[in-house]
Chains A and B, each alone.
Chain A
């Protein structure tokens, strides 16, 4: 009982727990868009890029959030400027810019040989690193994100699902995408202290894919991912205290464990789920001048391989 209640005696733990729950919730929420847009690599890259800015800000004695934000914007602009030029694809541009940016941070730290607790926190996450000022920033980003997700719910959803049609039906898709990118950057910067740069990509993606396994509806996935993120972060931060391990790692491991559990529990359910499609069966039939056997659906709806079966061959059900 002592072990269960003891962390509550420490103010840093209570502060860390609040920060973790807020960060877990907001990374889960934003992660829904990241996963559905197939931008997981952006989350990974952005967090690494921002680390370079954080170190530069530290060396130059600037404000952490200011340095990280400016650096993040610069990286985003560089990626945008490189993509599509002379055959450079987005993933390659992200790879070059963000890792080089991360390397700037690592080089500066190794030169000064001042691998302090602050940078360890930024890399792997540490509840001890969360100050009252950090908590205010995290709270403000959470509130801002929540307002945006609710206020621009349709814009974000429609742009993510079907960009061109959304534009035809009147959605300002470019604006929606820009706001979504800025939101992701803000969440990454606010989450760095708690989750850590190296763990952030997993914290963004895992709650969202866990929620995706549990539902076929967007709203449930969105709020579910937020809930799973907040819940697993609370458990993770507690484990971090108990085992004296980096908070980013324990949060990510908790999320991964929950994902694994949900994946296994929904395995049978998915496989046995009745489908509205026609059942497949095989029989001998002819097309392209050849008689052969393979499974294909029947009924009024489409054939499985894009051409029709004249049923000239006898129907031998197998």
Chain B
């Protein structure tokens, strides 16, 4: 069991219709890894995630989660979709949404039973949103929204958690809290794979980074992967990497000159 990877792609080709998104991808993620997939928009990050979740059948090759096809992954999978794709006006309470995550354990009865309610209450307490239990979806703030969907993904205690752009659309401090929370879960043994386009705030802090652009460009710890050479190939652009005491920062090598260059306009005019 020890050498069965949490996720294994073997020569996987995925696409929609006749359009191939990526071909012959090999990827292994060991149990207990906390990894980010980074790459430009349209590089196939979400497709990689969809193939892992079993939402998209590969055209060729095999995807295995803990040695099984995604649909039969032991313990199931936890999935947090991009928040922008969620219908926030849908008439559901937080409890209704979180209970959805333990669908496999529930019976035919339409309402959640006491056992499920208790599990939801305990999890929401831990995520710091216990007071939102009966709140309608449309009244949640950005940070609460992310936590509710995280709770739905965690309620069935899956060994593998997949998140699509979990830090997009939330502010810096919420982003920090979410990564901290994911770090705690990882320390408890949950394998985590997330996609992000944020190199500086997210990818640089995770123990494992997969640079992806229609195929794996490089995978490893940030010190070996986040180099100008690898990032240049991933983003098809000149990227500079600056090491500072506060961490590693990456930026486009050609800075943009969109602001008026006249010195007087660089700062706010005094009223």
Contacts and interface: CB of A to CB of B under 8 A. Distances in A.
Contacts of B173: 300
Given A276-B135, A276-B140, A162 B81 contact: yes
A217 B148 CA distance: 16
A161 B91 CA distance: 9
Interface in A54-88: none
A276 B139 contact: yes
Contact of A169 (B92, B100, B111, B140): B100
Contacts of A266: none
B5 interface: no
A277 B53 CA distance: 33
Contact-residue size bin, chain B (C-beta under 8 Å from the other chain): 35 or more
A301 B142 contact: yes
Given A168-B55, A216-B136, A221-B91, A289 B259 contact: yes
A169 B104 contact: yes
A306 B100 CA distance: 29
Contacts of B48: none
A303 B172 CA distance: 10
Interface string B152-181: 100010000000000001111110000000
Contact of A158 (B54, B100, B265): B100
A215 B93 CA distance: 11
Contact of A286 (B81, B111, B268): B268
A154 B170 contact: no
B77 A168 contact: yes
B188 interface: no
A244 interface: no
A308 B135 CA distance: 27
Contacts of B101: 169
Nearest to B70: A168
**Which of B92, B97, B132 has the largest count of A CB atoms less than 10 A from its CB?**
B92
Contacts of B137: 216
Contacts of A151: 108
A91 interface: no
Interface in B99-158: 100-101, 103-104, 106, 108, 110-111, 132, 135-144, 152, 156
Nearest to B135: A276
Interface in B77-93: 77, 79, 81, 86-87, 90-93
Contacts of A168: 53-55, 77, 79
Nearest to B102: A169
Contacts of A313: 268
Given A216-B93, A291-B269, A165 B81 contact: yes
Interface residues of A, number: 39
A165 B79 contact: yes
Interface string B39-61: 00000000000000111000000
Contact of A154 (B86, B103, B171, B265): B103
B108 A166 contact: no
Interface in A116-164: 150-151, 153-154, 158, 161-162, 164
Contact of B141 (A169, A220, A278, A312): A278
B110 A150 contact: yes
A312 B268 CA distance: 9
A164 B96 contact: no
B266 interface: yes
Interface of A: 36, 150-151, 153-154, 158, 161-162, 164-171, 212, 215-221, 275-278, 286, 289, 291, 300-303, 306, 308, 312-313
29 contacts: A36-B90, A154-B106, A158-B103, A161-B97, A162-B86, A162-B100, A166-B100, A166-B103, A169-B79, A169-B101, A170-B103, A170-B104, A215-B91, A216-B91, A217-B93, A217-B96, A217-B136, A218-B96, A219-B111, A221-B91, A275-B139, A276-B132, A276-B139, A276-B140, A276-B144, A300-B173, A300-B174, A301-B142, A308-B172
Per CB-CB distance, the 6 closest pairs between chain A and chain B, nearest first, are A302-B142, A216-B136, A153-B110, A301-B141, A291-B268, A168-B79
